Amino acid sequence: MTSSAGDEWSAAYPRMRLYGFAFDGTGYVAEIIEHDGYDVETAIEDGDYHFTDTGKLFSLAVTGEHGTSEPTWLLGGDYRVRPTSRAEHRRRRDMQQRYLMSRSRLGEPIVLPDGLRVVRMFPEWGGAGPLWESFTDNYPADPSKLGISVTLADELESWNDHWNARDPEDDLPDARAWLATGRHLYHRVQDELDGVAEVVPEFDAGDPL
């Protein structure tokens, strides 16, 4: 049996699947679009058209024949599942940043479909940080504008200052203790911003958080 030109075209590209995630008032629900015979760039453009532009987050994965195998994520992941590792946090962050950047370009409120803001947490040289709200005027983020307590804000500042108190060419001498403190602060920030923002821990390359 000979294959058609269309079959040959389709076989040149991986079998992909777009996942869109809409907030229904109680949680995120998924919508799936099978995407065969196109390159990754075109698939991402279609994801923006079908999902980002309609107020939804989206991800992209390679799937097996008839979508029977576990997805291999090319962009993002399953937004319905809370991240537990650094890689999962990074994929989730990438979905959020793509969505919020689109909102910024359109002049719309910089919030996720569920109304939450996104606050990134990482240290920076020069004393800025460690909280950041991308695509807003609150960058670096002022803890008082987020509603964070003075006590926690002071501890965040001290944690960031400790990271800054060395030559940029030198390793952090007590990195393990600094990371442990950062993880503790991250959970406290998320607790204080519950219902306001999702906090993304970008300072930590270890698992789990």
Mean pLDDT across 26-39:
91
Instruction: Find all residues with CB under 8 Å of 151, minimum gap 6, and list them.
Output: none
Which has the higher per-residue pLDDT, 106 or 10? Answer: 106
Q: In what order do the strands lie in the sheet with 131-132?
A: 131-132, 117-121, 197-201
Q: What is the pLDDT of residue 1?
A: 41
DSSP secondary structure code for residue 205 in this structure = -
Instruction: Tell me the pLDDT tens digit for each residue of 163-183.
Output: 998 888 888 889 999 999 999
Both tokens of residue 47? Answer: 């994801």
Whether omega for the bond prior to residue 201 falls within 30 degrees of 0, making it cis, is: no
DSSP 201: E
- Residue 62: what residue type? V
Q: Can you tell me the distance from the alpha carbon of 130 to that of 142, in angstroms, rounded to the nearest whole number?
A: 10
Q: Is there a contact between 120 and 156 (Cβ–Cβ < 8 Å)? A: no
In the chain, pLDDT over 90 holds for what percent of residues?
A: 71
Instruction: Report the C-alpha gap between 166 and 206 in whole angstroms.
Output: 22
State both tokens at 6: 């269309």
> Do residues 80 and 30 make contact, with C-beta atoms less than 8 angstroms apart?
yes
